[in-house]
Amino acid sequence: MKTQTFDARKARASRRRRGRTFQEWRAKYRRVIAALLAGVAVALTLIFFAPRIEPTRSVLVAARDLPAGHQLAAADLATVNLASDAIPPSSVRTAGEITGQQLAVPIERGAPIPRSSLVGPGLLTGAPPGTSAVPVRAADAEGTAILRPGMNVNVVLTTGNGYETPTESRIIARNVVVLWNGDQSSGSSTSWISSSKNQPGTVVVAAPEDDAARLAGATSEGKVSLVISSSD
């Protein structure tokens, strides 16, 4: 009986010693533990709220606002790093690729320059299959000055002179998109429409196959007019 009582007392004493040891250890290192926990919390917060590093790549942008028809020079261009997902797929990366070419649309300062913004085959990028870029020479050259790339126009053909034959006007192409306006070009052109500067009123439009055939011979049949239309 005495042995059992002694063993019970010994066990209780051992538990008390272990309890005091843990409490003493916790009291001794509580500041260190608190600092470690705080550090972990700060690290997790920084990881969670830290901005993601977006992949970037170099791209050519306009160094200043550039008007439609402008012939590009090295001074008009700058190379910057932009987020990859903010760069149009057809954007140009080096100035040598497009120096001397002509803009079909205005480009704002700092904006990438896609190939579809240049006068040339790239003008038809994204156009439906069978679309052609057709030069149309309007009889009223001054009237074409208001046309800008991206506008929709109806092409009207007027035949007859009002004397021997009555005049008749009809639409030969509806809602074709203006790609380029020769009256807005600046300086000499080395583009695929190099003679447009000698033909006032020349406008290039994107036309489906059937319309393109009619437009190609329109000026030999009568007077051609371009009328701004709705895209609907």
Report how far residue 42's alpha carbon sits from residue 49's, in angstroms, rounded to the nearest whole number: 11
Based on the fold, state whether residues 102 and 175 are members of the same structural domain.
no
- The candidate with the shortest Cα–Cα distance to 199, out of 155, 133, 150, 135, is 135
- How many domains is the chain built from? 3
Residue at a domain's end among 103, 118, 133: 118
**pLDDT score, position 7:** 53
Task: Check if the beta carbon of residue 219 is closer than 8 Å to that of residue 203.
Answer: no
- 54 against 91, higher pLDDT: 91
Based on the fold, state whether residues 129 and 114 are members of the same structural domain.
no
Based on the fold, state whether residues 97 and 140 are members of the same structural domain.
no
- CATH at 103: 3.90.1210.10
Phi, psi for residue 120 in degrees, rounded to 5: 145, -170
**pLDDT score, position 50:** 62
Based on the fold, state whether residues 149 and 64 are members of the same structural domain.
no
**pLDDT score, position 216:** 84
Task: Check if the beta carbon of residue 200 is closer than 8 Å to that of residue 182.
Answer: yes
Report how far residue 81's alpha carbon sits from residue 186's, in angstroms, rounded to the nearest whole number: 29
pLDDT in tens, 175-224: 998 887 765 554 434 344 444 444 677 888 889 988 988 888 888 899 99
Based on the fold, state whether residues 223 and 130 are members of the same structural domain.
yes
Q: Give me 172's structure tokens.
A: 């030969």
Task: Check if the beta carbon of residue 177 is closer than 8 Å to that of residue 131.
Answer: no
Based on the fold, state whether residues 46 and 94 are members of the same structural domain.
no
**pLDDT score, position 226:** 94
Residue at a domain's end among 69, 93, 118: 118
**How large is the average pLDDT for residues 34-50?**
72
Name residues whose C-beta falls within 8 Å of residue 110's C-beta, 6 or more positions apart in sequence: 61, 62, 80
List the domain range (segments joined by +) for residue 66.
56-118
Based on the fold, state whether residues 101 and 188 are members of the same structural domain.
no
Strands 223-228, 132-137: pairing kind? unpaired
Based on the fold, state whether residues 129 and 217 are members of the same structural domain.
yes
Based on the fold, state whether residues 184 and 130 are members of the same structural domain.
yes
Based on the fold, state whether residues 1 and 71 are members of the same structural domain.
no
Based on the fold, state whether residues 68 and 8 are members of the same structural domain.
no
Based on the fold, state whether residues 129 and 224 are members of the same structural domain.
yes
SS3 label, residue 194: coil
**How large is the average pLDDT for residues 35-57?**
73
* Residues above pLDDT 90, as percent of the chain: 13
Q: What count of residues does the chain have?
A: 232
